[in-house]
Structure 1
């Protein structure tokens, strides 16, 4: 009887732990939902000056969060694409009517040199952005990806992957190029302290970027990352 009781207790603990890690949710906000949370007054108070390209909300065991990806939308080019010189992202936690900013992203395209444009635009690559619990600890691990167009499109543009793990930002910065000496990837050393599941997921995401021709990583890149190489050129 005692053994049965212990087994039942263990089963209860396991089920409870599983339930806790399955409570995360995330979704893209509709325009009306975006306007409701990110009202004009809220945007003014929090210095959100650019148009919101996309907004998300997610909930995990620590609370409910709202994310706004904003782009400067400075002009329209000949291909009728929006040109952004600057991007900003904001993450807010909402708890019992109190909203606090948790983190912010600011970046911009490389400025022109003597009137010559090195990059055409910078924008969020939302097909790679995600807000999921990657390691099963009940906390969402946001991944935000953005990049630029160079003079030859993606071939010489930049890409940046930002992972937020328990409030800590971990970055992978990449310069595309069809020439080996000009191609460079920088990986924060803190990446290697992330749980293995998150590291694997990010490497798979990078492989997807290569498949979609949005990034050019060295063929032996995955092996080099496993060896904790923080800057890769060849």
Structure 2
């Protein structure tokens, strides 16, 4: 009986490993990026900003290409590129035809009466991921981007976007020097996601705090924990 159970366990483990091995992702180099996102393709799909980074990933539903684009409006005194807008595109390649699956558009907060509220917006690629988080054979793309305020990260914004089986789930966060300036808005659909995905996203947010890219109020952390506990029950 013990041997039978062991065999079943190993069989299931092997099946899971095979299923997960079918899910891959990688960053495209410049040559690959220019080949797929050529001038004609960009014109057809209204990709007008420079491509900052491009990815491809494959899962059981097909092969996909993602472009993260930034407006690159100017260069500041520190020789950093300043962006007023960002856009992301996801295309599925099916029988030689590229179909757009989703698009992200955002921009830095406009100046108010000549006062600059935010200096730039850009993709935080160190947090962007294309992984099969819950092991269902489908990649769960996570796109993260944010802004600089007058005090850098301390009063900028951060936005985390997850695509789960075609559903867009967003966590919006405003950093602030003072406690009452910090605000976090979580889509209610986040709490209906599998616990493994919720935990994964929360770990990304925790890393953002550790790296001083985000400051979350304790009330938000307590709320997240309570919500997850309630879903689990």
Q: What is the TM-score when the length of structure 2 is the normalising length?
A: 0.91
Could you tell me whether the CA contact under 8 Å between 1:203 and 1:222 is conserved in 2?
Answer: no
Which residue number in structure 2 is paired with residue 140 of structure 1?
A: 139
Q: 1:155 to 1:93 in 2, by over 3 A?
A: same
Q: CA deviation at 1:78?
A: 1.2
Output aligned runs, 1:27-46, within 5 Å: 27-46=26-45
Which residue number in structure 1 is paired with residue 62 of structure 2?
A: 63
Which residue number in structure 1 is paired with residue 188 of structure 2?
A: 189
Which residue number in structure 1 is paired with residue 116 of structure 2?
A: 117
Could you tell me whether the CA contact under 8 Å between 1:189 and 1:228 is conserved in 2?
Answer: no
Which residue number in structure 1 is paired with residue 154 of structure 2?
A: 155
Q: CA deviation at 1:176?
A: 0.1
Residue-by-residue CA offset, 1:5-28 (whole Å, 9 max, x unaligned): x99789756644542233100000
C-alpha distance in 2, partners of 1:212/1:10?
39
What runs of 5+ residues in structure 1 fail to find an aligned partner? Answer: 230-234
Which residue number in structure 2 is paired with residue 104 of structure 1?
A: 103
Q: CA deviation at 1:65?
A: 0.2
Secondary structure of 2:125 counterpart: coil
C-alpha distance in 2, partners of 1:219/1:11?
43
RMSD: 2.0
Q: What is the TM-score when the length of structure 1 is the normalising length?
A: 0.91
Could you tell me whether the CA contact under 8 Å between 2:174 and 2:184 is conserved in 1?
Answer: yes
Could you tell me whether the CA contact under 8 Å between 1:124 and 1:147 is conserved in 2?
Answer: yes
Which residue number in structure 1 is paired with residue 231 of structure 2?
A: none
What runs of 5+ residues in structure 2 fail to find an aligned partner? Answer: 229-233
Secondary structure of 2:119 counterpart: strand
C-alpha distance in 2, partners of 1:11/1:204?
29
Could you tell me whether the CA contact under 8 Å between 2:157 and 2:175 is conserved in 1?
Answer: yes
Q: 1:227 to 1:50 in 2, by over 3 A?
A: same
1:165 corresponds to 2:164:
yes
C-alpha distance in 2, partners of 1:14/1:106?
40
Could you tell me whether the CA contact under 8 Å between 2:184 and 2:220 is conserved in 1?
Answer: no
Q: 1:174 to 1:7 in 2, by over 3 A?
A: closer
Residue-by-residue CA offset, 1:142-184 (whole Å, 9 max, x unaligned): 0000000001100000000000000100000000012111110
Which residue number in structure 2 is paired with residue 232 of structure 1?
A: none
Give the ranges of 4+ consecutive aligned residues of structure 1 lying more than 6 Å apart after TM superposition. Answer: 6-11
1:176 corresponds to 2:139:
no
C-alpha distance in 2, partners of 1:11/1:181?
52
Q: 1:12 to 1:228 in 2, by over 3 A?
A: closer
Secondary structure of 1:204 counterpart: helix
Residue-by-residue CA offset, 1:117-150 (whole Å, 9 max, x unaligned): 1000000000000100000000000000000000
Secondary structure of 1:224 counterpart: helix
C-alpha distance in 2, partners of 1:29/1:199?
28
